[in-house]
Amino acid sequence: MLRPLSFSFILFFFLLSAFIVEGLVEHYKVKKPSTHENVIENRYTVELSHPTEVTYFTDALSNAFAPQHIKIHRQFTHSVFNGVSFKLISSSSGRRFQHHQILQSLFDDESVLAVYPSRRVSSPSLAQSAVEHVAAGVNSSVSKLLSPHGLTQVDRVHKDLKYTGKDIIIGVIDSGVDYMHPALGGGFGKGFKVRYGEDLVGDKFDPSDDDPIIKPGPTPLENCDANTRASGHGTHVSGIIAGKTDNFTGVAPDATLAVWRVFGCTGGTEDDVIIDALLKAEKAGCDIINLSLGDNSGWSESPTAVVASRIAKRGIHMVIAAGNDGLNGAFTVGSPSTGDNTLSVASFDNENVLIPHFKASHVKDNIAFAIPSSTKVKTYPSGELVPGDDNYGFLGAGCPAPASVKGKYALVEEGSCHLQEKVHNLAKAGALGMVVYKNSSKIMYSPRIDNATIPVMGISVKYGEALIDQLDDDKIVELKFLGQLPLPLLTANTVSVFSSVGASYELDFRPHISGVGGSIYSTLPRKLGYWGTLSGTSMATPYVAGSIALYLNSLGKNYTMEPNTVLEHFQNYAYKAPLARGPKGLDSPLRQGAGLIQVYDTITQKVHVSPGSISFNDTASSNYKTHTLTIMNHGDKLVSYQVSNNATLAILPYDVAEDGYTYLEPLNYTTAIAKLRLSKKTIKVAPGKSVQVKVTVIPPDVDPKKHIMYGGYVQFKSRSHQSSHDISVPYFGLVGKQKDLPVFDHHTPFITSDNSTVVYDKHDTLTIQRSNNDTELAPLLNFRLLTGTRLVKVELLERINGKVIGDIVPPLTYLPRNTLTTRRLIHSLILDGYYYPKGNNTNAKTPDGKDDDADDDGVHIPLGTYKIRVQALHLFGDPQKSGDFQTWESGNIKIVE
Ligand SMILES: *[C@@H]1O[C@H](CO)[C@@H](O)[C@H](O)[C@H]1NC(C)=O
Ligand SMILES: *[C@@H]1O[C@H](CO)[C@@H](O)[C@H](O)[C@H]1NC(C)=O
Ligand SMILES: *[C@@H]1O[C@H](CO)[C@@H](O)[C@H](O)[C@H]1NC(C)=O
Ligand SMILES: *[C@@H]1O[C@H](CO)[C@@H](O)[C@H](O)[C@H]1NC(C)=O
Ligand SMILES: *[C@@H]1O[C@H](CO)[C@@H](O)[C@H](O)[C@H]1NC(C)=O
Ligand SMILES: *[C@@H]1O[C@H](CO)[C@@H](O)[C@H](O)[C@H]1NC(C)=O
Ligand SMILES: *[C@@H]1O[C@H](CO)[C@@H](O)[C@H](O)[C@H]1NC(C)=O
Ligand SMILES: *[C@@H]1O[C@H](CO)[C@@H](O)[C@H](O)[C@H]1NC(C)=O
Ligand SMILES: *[C@@H]1O[C@H](CO)[C@@H](O)[C@H](O)[C@H]1NC(C)=O
What pTM does this model have? 0.88
User: Between 848 and 349, where is the model more confident?
Assistant: 349
Q: Please give the class, per CATH, of domain 357-484.
A: alpha beta
- 167 catalytic residue (yes or no): no
pLDDT tens per residue, range 31-55: 655 445 566 777 889 999 999 999 9
Q: Determine how β-strand 456-458 pairs with β-strand 433-437.
A: parallel
The finding on whether 822 has its CB within 6 A of some atom of ligand 6 is: no
Interatomic CA distance for residues 250 and 157, integer angstroms = 12
Residue 656: predicted pLDDT? 81
User: Could you give phi then psi for residue 538, rounded to 5 degrees?
Assistant: -55, -30
| Torsion sign across C-alpha atoms 425, 431, 433, 439 | negative
Angle, in degrees to the nearest 10, between helices 271-283 and 303-313? 10
Q: From the CB of residue 366, how many other CB atoms can be counted at a distance below 10 Å?
A: 15
Q: From the CB of residue 605, how many other CB atoms can be counted at a distance below 10 Å?
A: 21
Ligand with the closest atom to the CA of 452: 2
- 538 catalytic residue (yes or no): yes
- Cα of 4 vs centre of ligand 7, distance in Å, is 10
Interatomic CA distance for residues 44 and 47, integer angstroms = 10
Is the pLDDT at 816 greater than 90, yes or no?
no
Interatomic CA distance for residues 637 and 643, integer angstroms = 19
Residue 675: predicted pLDDT? 97
Residue 445: predicted pLDDT? 86
Residue 852: predicted pLDDT? 57
Q: Determine how β-strand 112-121 pairs with β-strand 269-270.
A: antiparallel
- Cα of 866 vs centre of ligand 5, distance in Å, is 62
Residue of 36, 149, 181, 233 marked catalytic: 233
- 174 catalytic residue (yes or no): yes
- Which of 166, 553, 558 to mutate for ligand 4's pocket (most ligand atoms within 8 Å of CB)? 558
**Contacting residues for 156 by C-beta, under 8 A, at least 6 apart:** 600
Residue 546: predicted pLDDT? 98
| Torsion sign across C-alpha atoms 44, 46, 51, 52 | negative
Nearest CA to ligand 9 atom 4: 843
Interatomic CA distance for residues 569 and 575, integer angstroms = 13
Q: What is the mean pLDDT of residues 847-867?
A: 68
Interatomic CA distance for residues 78 and 61, integer angstroms = 21
- Cα of 485 vs centre of ligand 1, distance in Å, is 15
How large is the greatest C-alpha to C-alpha distance in the chain, in angstroms?
91
- Cα of 764 vs centre of ligand 9, distance in Å, is 29
Nearest-5° angle of CA 495, CA 498, CA 503?
Answer: 75
Q: How far is CA 422 from CA 376, 431, 465, in A?
A: 18, 11, 19
How many Cα neighbours within 13 Å face the side chain of 758?
12
Nearest-5° angle of CA 76, CA 80, CA 84?
Answer: 25
Residue type, 302: S
Q: Please give the class, per CATH, of domain 3-16+742-896.
A: mainly beta
Residue type, 238: S
Which residue intervals of 233-389 are DSSP H helices? Answer: 233-242, 271-283, 303-313
Is the pLDDT at 854 greater than 80, yes or no?
no
- Cα of 872 vs centre of ligand 3, distance in Å, is 19
Ligand with the closest atom to the CA of 426: 2
Closest Cα to residue 302, out of 510, 30, 592? 30
**Sheet strand arrangement including 288-291:** 194-199, 256-261, 169-174, 288-291, 317-321, 343-349, 513-518
Nearest CA to ligand 1 atom 1: 139
Q: Which of 93-107, 224-238, 424-438 has the lowest mean pLDDT?
A: 93-107
Residue 11: predicted pLDDT? 31
User: Could you give phi then psi for residue 237, rounded to 5 degrees?
Assistant: -60, -45
**Contacting residues for 471 by C-beta, under 8 A, at least 6 apart:** 385, 386, 387, 411, 477
Q: Under CATH, which number does the domain 605-736 receive?
A: 2.60.40.10
Is the pLDDT at 17 greater than 50, yes or no?
no
Confidence of residue 894 (pLDDT cuts 50, 70, 90): very high
Residue of 174, 272, 276, 832 marked catalytic: 174
Nearest CA to ligand 7 atom 1: 755
Task: Please check whether residue 189 is in contact with residue 284, taking contact to mean a CB–CB distance below 8 angstroms.
Answer: no
- Cα of 415 vs centre of ligand 2, distance in Å, is 17
Residue of 85, 335, 514, 538 marked catalytic: 538
Residue 335: predicted pLDDT? 85
Which residue intervals of 573-687 are DSSP H helices? Answer: 589-592, 599-604
Residue 657: predicted pLDDT? 75
Residue 603: predicted pLDDT? 98
What letter does residue 866 receive in the DSSP assignment?
E
Q: Which of 226-230, 319-323, 517-521, 610-614 has the lowest mean pLDDT?
A: 226-230
**Contacting residues for 410 by C-beta, under 8 A, at least 6 apart:** 385, 386, 387, 388, 401, 426, 431, 433, 434, 435
Residue 502: predicted pLDDT? 93
Give the CA-trace dihedral at 356, 360, 365, 371, to 10 degrees: -20
The finding on whether 655 has its CB within 6 A of some atom of ligand 6 is: yes
Task: Please check whether residue 729 is in contact with residue 629, taking contact to mean a CB–CB distance below 8 angstroms.
Answer: yes
Nearest CA to ligand 4 atom 14: 558
Closest Cα to residue 185, out of 234, 254, 232? 254
Q: Determine how β-strand 765-769 pairs with β-strand 758-760.
A: unpaired
Is the pLDDT at 747 greater than 90, yes or no?
no
Residue 704: predicted pLDDT? 93
Residue 844: predicted pLDDT? 40
SS3 221: strand
Interatomic CA distance for residues 793 and 802, integer angstroms = 15
pLDDT tens per residue, range 617-642: 999 887 678 999 999 999 999 999 99
Confidence of residue 171 (pLDDT cuts 50, 70, 90): very high
CA of 757, closest atom in ligand 7: 1
Q: Under CATH, which number does the domain 129-351+489-604 receive?
A: 3.40.50.200
Instruction: Return residue ranges of the chain for CATH 3.30.70.260.
Output: 39-121
Q: Average pLDDT of the chain? A: 87
Residue 22: predicted pLDDT? 53
Task: Please check whether residue 525 is in contact with residue 144, taking contact to mean a CB–CB distance below 8 angstroms.
Answer: no
Instruction: Return residue ranges of the chain for CATH 3.50.30.30.
Output: 357-484
Q: Which of 130-144, 641-655, 686-700, 833-847 has the lowest mean pLDDT?
A: 833-847
**Contacting residues for 124 by C-beta, under 8 A, at least 6 apart:** 174, 175, 231, 233, 263, 292, 293, 321, 536, 538
- Cα of 728 vs centre of ligand 5, distance in Å, is 10
pLDDT tens per residue, range 110-139: 999 998 888 777 776 666 544 444 556 788
Nearest-5° angle of CA 459, CA 451, CA 361?
Answer: 30
pLDDT tens per residue, range 682-706: 999 999 999 999 999 999 999 999 9
CA of 247, closest atom in ligand 1: 1
Residue 7: predicted pLDDT? 29
Residue 856: predicted pLDDT? 52
Interatomic CA distance for residues 407 and 410, integer angstroms = 9
pLDDT tens per residue, range 531-558: 989 999 999 999 999 999 999 999 987 6
Instruction: Return residue ranges of the chain for CATH 2.70.50.
Output: 3-16+742-896
Long-range contacts of 466-471 (CB under 8 A, 24+ apart): 466/363, 467/360, 467/363, 467/385, 467/411, 467/435, 468/387, 468/392, 468/411, 470/360, 470/361, 470/362, 470/363, 471/385, 471/386, 471/387, 471/411
| Torsion sign across C-alpha atoms 132, 137, 141, 146 | positive
User: Between 19 and 111, where is the model more confident?
Assistant: 111
Q: What is the mean pLDDT of residues 354-383?
A: 86
Percent of the chain predicted with pLDDT > 70: 88
Interatomic CA distance for residues 157 and 771, integer angstroms = 72
Instruction: Return residue ranges of the chain for CATH 3.40.50.200.
Output: 129-351+489-604
CATH fold for domain 39-121:
Alpha-Beta Plaits (3.30.70)
Nearest CA to ligand 6 atom 13: 655
Interatomic CA distance for residues 96 and 112, integer angstroms = 21
The 3 state secondary structure assigned to 296-342 is: CCCCCCCHHHHHHHHHHHCCCEEEEECCCCHHHCCCCCCCCCCCCCC
Beta strand extents in 648-734 (DSSP E only): 650-655, 662-670, 675-678, 682-685, 690-698, 709-718, 727-734
- Which of 399, 424, 454 to mutate for ligand 2's pocket (most ligand atoms within 8 Å of CB)? 424
